[in-house]
């Protein structure tokens, strides 16, 4: 049996999205900036996608902007660097959290080298940012607060409305990286009152290489790309029409199927969590209630994640781990570290992220395979109850 | 990412397990980094009669430890101590660059076991 459970990594393209995209490469291929019919047709496709995304986000003000980008990483880079450089005369302080995606943390570290100051807020043991921590960290010169809507590793959903209020009370802008929530749970810019929000298409059965940034009216932003002035002068470069149209269609489908998907996946998620925790020396990471409907992240002590992932793969199961051994840098997951987990504990973390196609049978199969795989590695491991290397 | 030979040892480790009353034990690695290995030796007339291992770690750590046990079983201590990290890496058909340092500790752990055995023998 082949079971794909890494939907937080990426998702397959929905065939309905592929069908919608195709004409924009084959027949409606005009440059959307052109005045002739072929160009106008492409422009209409982009406008339609923009409107689909605006609807999903519940955008009320027609002067708010949806700027298309190449994906979540670019959206986050544009938000952070764009705001930092547009507001640097007002202040040079930015606040984010310790559990953000690397596409937030790395630009922040780069901005620090450029003379900005960044405060990285801690999280509690469930991965929640406390609005009071933000209140004490915020300063007169804080220009931007960036806290993710939900964490990609542990699925914890952050209290964005409360955090936005704190930022606004002190005159700072608020950005949220909604790459993991967009299309999966309601993402309402009016309810959350965020100023800037990042999205990605390939996490919601859309194409790779396309994302977007929501920018509230009046928010200034320096572009990363200078050129022909596309996308409200925020992102120059001829538009990726098929990608953008696909993103729009993926959004439309997500909107109409969200409540069904959410219900189905939460049920499977809870079943998978319950079954996984029957294994000895296991524990759930992330918030037990305030978590993404598709996220399961558990620790199994005395085993190492890369081995688990490879062995699960032999059984046809695709999952992910926060183990240092599986990362390019050989660093353990910064998210699990921020929860207070020791590196030797985070080695044994496994993340399953469910998607539209996953079934009860697949969850049962994972629950049948997983204990055997863990047992195999525990039998090879010198650790049993002690985790101390004794010479 | 990994060679066929390494995956073969990862999937079906040779000489895996804890040994009762070993003549020497080598321990190495660091649980923080994620790779820890124990090598147990049964030695007779300066020859490795039996060898077992336990490893906590990634596929490279498990595969290389399994491989070295296969390489040294039946060898004299003089021969076994000549086996280097590089020999193990070559024997498993190479390792990804990031794994060369952290996960290929089996040779040093084996040397530790042999040296310990020798120093204890010298005492008696």
The last residue of one of the domains, among A203, A218, A253, is A253
- The average pLDDT across B43-54 equals 96
Task: Answer whether B59 sits within 8 Å of A389, measured CB to CB.
Answer: no
> What is the reported pLDDT for B97?
85
> What is the reported pLDDT for A100?
98
* Tens digits of residue pLDDT in A257-282: 999 999 999 999 999 999 999 999 99
* Tens digits of residue pLDDT in A160-194: 999 999 999 999 999 999 999 999 999 999 999 99
For residue A385, name the pLDDT band (cuts at 50, 70, 90): low
Report yes or no: A307 and B2 within 8 Å, Cβ to Cβ.
Answer: no
Task: Answer whether A391 sits within 8 Å of B27, measured CB to CB.
Answer: yes
- Whether A20 is in a domain gets the answer yes
Residues of chain B in contact with residue A304, where contact means CB-CB under 8 angstroms, are 34-35, 56-58, 61
Task: Answer whether B34 sits within 8 Å of A303, measured CB to CB.
Answer: no
Structure tokens at A85: 């450089």
Closest Cβ–Cβ partner in A302, A342, A388 for B56: A302
The average confidence (pLDDT) of chain A is 95
The last residue of one of the domains, among A253, A287, A314, is A253
> What is the reported pLDDT for B30?
79
- Whether A327 is in a domain gets the answer yes
Looking at the structure, tell me whether residues A239 and A265 fall in a common domain. no
Phi/psi-derived region of residue A125, left when phi > 0, alpha when psi is between -120 and 50, beta in every other case: alpha
Q: Where are the domains of chain B?
A: 4-123
Task: Answer whether A344 sits within 8 Å of B31, measured CB to CB.
Answer: yes
ipTM for the assembly: 0.90
Looking at the structure, tell me whether residues A106 and A203 fall in a common domain. yes
- Whether A382 is in a domain gets the answer no
> What is the reported pLDDT for B124?
76
Q: Spell out the long-range contacts of A51-55 with Cβ–Cβ below 8 A and sequence spacing 24 or more.
A: A51/A248, A52/A248, A52/A249, A52/A251, A52/A252, A52/A255, A53/A199, A53/A212, A53/A214, A53/A247, A53/A248, A53/A251, A55/A255
CB < 8 Å from B in window 236-295 of A: none
- Whether A146 is in a domain gets the answer yes
> What is the reported pLDDT for A56?
98
Q: How many CB pairs under 8 A join A and B?
A: 79
Looking at the structure, tell me whether residues A187 and A95 fall in a common domain. yes
> Does A386 contact chain B (CB < 8 Å)?
no
Q: Which of A311, A326, A327, A380 to mutate to test the interface with B (most CBs of B within 10 A)?
A: A380
> What is the reported pLDDT for A388?
43
> What is the reported pLDDT for A186?
98
Looking at the structure, tell me whether residues A218 and A351 fall in a common domain. no
Looking at the structure, tell me whether residues A135 and A210 fall in a common domain. yes
Residues of chain A in contact with residue B102, where contact means CB-CB under 8 angstroms, are 325, 330
Looking at the structure, tell me whether residues A242 and A282 fall in a common domain. no
Chain B residue with the nearest C-alpha to that of A377: B56
Q: Which residues of A carry out catalysis?
A: 325
Report yes or no: B54 and B16 within 8 Å, Cβ to Cβ.
Answer: yes
Task: Answer whether B11 sits within 8 Å of A306, measured CB to CB.
Answer: no
For residue A384, name the pLDDT band (cuts at 50, 70, 90): low
Looking at the structure, tell me whether residues A93 and A131 fall in a common domain. yes
How close is the nearest chain A Cα to the Cα of B116, in Å? 11
Task: Answer whether B34 sits within 8 Å of A332, measured CB to CB.
Answer: yes
Task: Answer whether A310 sits within 8 Å of B10, measured CB to CB.
Answer: yes
Looking at the structure, tell me whether residues A246 and A292 fall in a common domain. no
Instruction: Provide the residue range defining the domain that includes A280.
Output: 3-7+258-376
Q: Which of A304, A387, A391 to mutate to test the interface with B (most CBs of B within 10 A)?
A: A304
- Whether A390 is in a domain gets the answer no
> Any idea what the CATH number is for the domain that residue A121 is in?
3.40.640.10
* Tens digits of residue pLDDT in B58-106: 999 999 999 999 999 999 999 999 999 999 999 999 998 888 877 788 9
> What is the reported pLDDT for A389?
38
* Tens digits of residue pLDDT in A4-50: 999 999 999 999 999 999 999 999 999 999 999 999 999 999 999 99
* Tens digits of residue pLDDT in A67-120: 999 999 999 999 999 999 999 999 999 999 999 999 999 999 999 999 999 999
> Does A314 contact chain B (CB < 8 Å)?
yes
What is the rounded CA–CA span in Å between residue B106 and residue B8? Answer: 17
Looking at the structure, tell me whether residues A264 and A308 fall in a common domain. yes
How close is the nearest chain A Cα to the Cα of B87, in Å? 22
* Tens digits of residue pLDDT in B10-39: 999 999 999 999 999 999 987 777 789 999
Task: Answer whether B58 sits within 8 Å of A307, measured CB to CB.
Answer: yes
Question: May I ask the CATH architecture of the domain B4-123?
Answer: Alpha-Beta Complex (3.90)
The last residue of one of the domains, among A208, A228, A253, is A253
CB < 8 Å from A in window 38-97 of B: 38, 54-59, 61-62
Say if residue A365 is exposed, middle or buried (CB neighbours under 10 Å; 0-12, 13-18, 19+): middle
Tell me the β-bridge partners of B30: B35
> What is the reported pLDDT for A391?
38
Number of compact structural domains in chain A: 2
- Whether A241 is in a domain gets the answer yes
Task: Answer whether A304 sits within 8 Å of B31, measured CB to CB.
Answer: no
Looking at the structure, tell me whether residues A326 and A239 fall in a common domain. no
Worst-scoring range by mean pLDDT, A143-147, A322-326, B52-56, B65-69? Answer: A322-326
Looking at the structure, tell me whether residues A192 and A154 fall in a common domain. yes
Closest Cβ–Cβ partner in A307, A324, A391 for B33: A324
> Any idea what the CATH number is for the domain that residue A294 is in?
3.90.1150.10
Residues of chain B in contact with residue A388, where contact means CB-CB under 8 angstroms, are 31
Give the range with max mean pLDDT: A313-322, A323-332, A362-371. A362-371
Q: What is the distance between the terminal CA atoms of chain A, rounded to a whole angstrom?
A: 43
> Does A307 contact chain B (CB < 8 Å)?
yes
- Whether A349 is in a domain gets the answer yes
Looking at the structure, tell me whether residues A93 and A204 fall in a common domain. yes
Closest to A98 (Cα-Cα) out of A346, A337, A351: A337
- The average pLDDT across A293-302 equals 95
């Amino acid at each position: 049996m082949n079971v794909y459970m890494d939907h937080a990594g990426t998702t397959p393209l929905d065939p309905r999205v592929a069908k919608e995209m195709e004409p924009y490469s084959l027949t409606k291929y005009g440059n959307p900036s052109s005045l002739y019919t072929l160009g106008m047709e492409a422009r209409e496709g982009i406008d339609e996608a923009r409107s689909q995304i605006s609807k999903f986000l519940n955008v009320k003000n027609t002067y708010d902007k949806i700027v298309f980008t190449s994906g979540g990483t670019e959206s986050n880079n544009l938000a952070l660097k764009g705001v930092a450089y547009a507001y640097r005369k007002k202040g040079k302080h930015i606040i984010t959290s310790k559990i953000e995606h690397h596409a937030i943390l790395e630009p922040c570290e780069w901005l620090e080298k450029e003379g900005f100051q960044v405060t990285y807020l801690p999280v509690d043991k469930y991965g929640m940012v406390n609005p009071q921590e933000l209140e004490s960290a915020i300063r007169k010169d804080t220009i931007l607060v960036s806290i993710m809507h939900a964490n990609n590793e542990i699925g914890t959903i952050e209290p964005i409305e409360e955090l936005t209020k704190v930022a606004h009370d002190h005159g700072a802008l608020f950005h949220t990286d909604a790459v993991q929530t967009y299309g999966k749970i309601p993402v309402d810019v009016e309810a959350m009152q965020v100023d800037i929000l990042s999205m990605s298409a390939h996490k919601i059965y859309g194409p790779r290489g396309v994302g977007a940034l929501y920018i509230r009216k009046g928010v200034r932003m320096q572009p990363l790309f200078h050129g022909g002035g596309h996308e409200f002068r925020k992102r120059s470069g001829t538009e990726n029409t098929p990608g953008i149209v696909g993103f729009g269609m993926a959004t439309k489908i997500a909107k109409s199927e969200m409540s069904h998907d959410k219900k189905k996946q939460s049920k499977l998620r809870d079943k998978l969590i319950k079954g996984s925790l029957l294994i000895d020396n296991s524990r759930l990471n992330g918030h037990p209630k305030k978590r993404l409907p598709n996220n399961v992240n558990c620790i199994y002590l005395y085993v190492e994640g890369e081995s688990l992932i490879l062995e699960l793969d032999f059984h046809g199961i695709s999952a992910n781990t926060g183990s240092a051994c599986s990362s390019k840098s050989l660093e353990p997951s910064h998210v699990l570290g921020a929860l207070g987990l020791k590196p030797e504990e985070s080695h044994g973390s496994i993340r399953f992220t469910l998607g539209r196609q996953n079934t009860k049978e697949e969850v049962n199969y994972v629950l049948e395979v997983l204990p055997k795989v863990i047992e195999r590695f525990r039998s090879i491991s010198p650790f049993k109850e002690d985790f101390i290397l004794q010479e | 990412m990994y060679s066929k030979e390494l995956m073969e040892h990862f999937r079906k480790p040779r000489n895996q397990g804890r040994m009762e009353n070993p003549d020497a034990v080598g321990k190495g690695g660091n649980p923080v980094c994620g790779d820890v290995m124990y090598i147990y030796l049964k030695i007779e007339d300066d020859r490795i009669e039996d060898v077992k291992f336990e490893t906590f770690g990634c596929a490279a750590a498990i595969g290389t430890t399994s491989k070295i046990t296969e390489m040294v079983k039946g060898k004299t201590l003089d021969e076994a101590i000549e086996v280097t990290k590089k020999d193990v890496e070559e024997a498993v058909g190479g390792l990804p660059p990031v794994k060369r340092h952290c996960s290929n500790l089996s040779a040093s752990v084996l040397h530790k076991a042999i040296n310990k055995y020798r120093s204890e023998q010298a005492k008696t």
